[in-house]
C-alpha cells in the first residue's frame, strides 16, 4: 500500500437504503488503495450517512469518489482533515 500521511479530504456520504448493509468503505480502500478513516456516522435500517476521510493521491481519491457516486451514494466534499 502507498505511504499514507495523516489526514486527507473529508466527505459526507449519504447511502441509499439498499447499500446500508454492504461493505462499501472496505471495498473502497481495497479497490483504490486508499486509507479510509470514519470521522462520524449515523446508521439505521433505512438511512445512513458517514463522514469519511480518504487518504491517497489526488487521482486515487478522485477515482474513489467517482466510484462511490456511480454506486448511488451522494458525496459532498467537506474539505481537508
pTM here? 0.86
CA–CA distance, 38 with 28 (Å, rounded to integer):
13
Q: What is the tens place of the pLDDT at every residue in 11-41?
A: 999 999 999 999 999 999 999 999 999 999 9
Q: Collect all residues with Cβ–Cβ distance below 8 Å to 74 and sequence separation of at least 6.
A: 13, 14
Nearest to residue 29, comparing CAs of 75, 72, 70, 60?
Answer: 60
Q: Which domains are seen in the chain, by residue range?
A: 9-80 (3.30.70.260)
pLDDT for the residue numbered 73: 98
Q: What is the tens place of the pLDDT at every residue in 53-74?
A: 999 999 999 999 999 999 999 9
CA–CA distance, 56 with 28 (Å, rounded to integer):
12
Q: For the chain, list the strands marked E by DSSP.
A: 9-15, 35-43, 48-55, 74-80
Amino acid at each position: 500500500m502507498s505511504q499514507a500521511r495523516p489526514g486527507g479530504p473529508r466527505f459526507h456520504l449519504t447511502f441509499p437504503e439498499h447499500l446500508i448493509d454492504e461493505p462499501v468503505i472496505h471495498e473502497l480502500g481495497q479497490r483504490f488503495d486508499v486509507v479510509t478513516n470514519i470521522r462520524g456516522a449515523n446508521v439505521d435500517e433505512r438511512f445512513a450517512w458517514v463522514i469519511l476521510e480518504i487518504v491517497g493521491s489526488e487521482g486515487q481519491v478522485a477515482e474513489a469518489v467517482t466510484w462511490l457516486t456511480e454506486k448511488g451514494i451522494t458525496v459532498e466534499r467537506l474539505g481537508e482533515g
